[in-house]
Chain A
Amino acid sequence: MKRKEFDDTLLEGSGQEFVRGLVANVPDDDLSMAWRSSLNERLLQTAHVAPKKQRMAWFLRPAMGLAFASALAAVLMIRMSPPSSSIVRTTGSLEAALVRDHEQNIVMSDVAGLGVNPMESRPTDSNLGDDWSEVDFESL
């Protein structure tokens, strides 16, 4: 249903114009200098707060991005890590490998004796001569 258009002539009557004149002549109050001073202070505070916020935003935006990326990476790593059963299997094969290695070392030492592997070498009496100084030689 279309609304009826407002009749503009209603606003042009002398009574309406009289009221318009009255309202237009209603006096304005002036604001005090104290009010203006207070406003200036508030505006200055506002102007100082704005760059602070910008600086904080400059720091916080990348920091928050980095934190989000780290959290995402952590979640992905946890999800992609192998289940605990595989760890058991790995441990079993490791034990077997250690045992095999140990047995092999025993066989090797039985066959060739100590010293095949430089790590297994022990200091012998022949090495004692290394500690002699030149003075000792001269005294002989």
Chain B
Amino acid sequence: MELCIGATGRFVKQNSEPSVEAALIEKCRRQDFEAFGKLIDAYQNRVFGFVKRMVPNPDEAADITQEVFIRAFQNFARFDGRSSVRTWLFRIAYHLCVDRARKVERTPTHVGLVDSENGEEIEVSDDRWQPDQILIDEELMEVVEQGISTMSEKLRSVLLLHDKEDMQYDEIAQLLEVPIGTVKSRLFLARAHLQNVVRQYLGAQAPSAK
């Protein structure tokens, strides 16, 4: 019975006893540094990855990530366990990013179903297309990062939480305090936007949006 950090950076219970994580959470509630350190080890890079894509400045993202863990440490007694620790941490991170965005009054580029340049409706998918054949290289990743950064905050958060953090729709809905249908539609729009960006990068080799 041991709690360790898995390859995905999450808590892994080697013997599936739920009391292990509960015990760790209980220690964190009592402001146990060692227990909280384990929590930081497990989530720091994931939280930073999320914040970094929500906030353009990496230094600021690092500061916000610290703030996430400090707030979590201060308020662990209030953690009611209705959601997972991961969802709770990402909720804190999301709200801090939103607060920061409000402060700087950044105007995000909104992406809708209709292509703003051509006025055409973005099409959905092509079943003939084989994504495995696409080489995922660093340059493509940069394009993806750029595509993510040009989305509105609402679309970006849903895309990152679902596709990067592998959260369920209901978890995201709970975290963002929106209906599940909204989560799904935002996810669709975010992916459609990114698909469009990648298509432009890949040129003729890229699959059509549908």
Contacts and interface: CB of A to CB of B under 8 A. Distances in A.
A21 B192 CA distance: 13
Contacts of B97: none
Given A18-B134, A31-B44, A39-B66, A23 B144 contact: yes
Contacts of B209: 15
Contacts of A36: 40, 44
Interface of A is mostly: helix
Interface string A19-38: 11111111111110001101
Interface in B23-47: 31, 33, 36-37, 40, 44-46
B74 interface: yes
A43 B164 contact: no
Interface in A72-101: none
Interface in A1-55: 3, 5-6, 8, 10-11, 13-31, 35-36, 38-40, 42-44, 46-47, 50
Contacts of A40: 37
Contacts of A19: 163, 191, 194-195, 198
B145 A18 contact: no
Given A35-B62, A43-B33, A29 B52 contact: yes
B134 to A, nearest CB: 7
Contact of A26 (B124, B126, B144): B144
Interface of A: 3, 5-6, 8, 10-11, 13-31, 35-36, 38-40, 42-44, 46-47, 50
Interface of B: 9, 31, 33, 36-37, 40, 44-46, 48-49, 52, 58, 62, 65-66, 69-70, 73-74, 124-127, 129-131, 134, 136, 140-141, 144-145, 148, 159-160, 162-164, 166, 181, 184-185, 187-188, 191-192, 194-195, 198, 207, 209-210
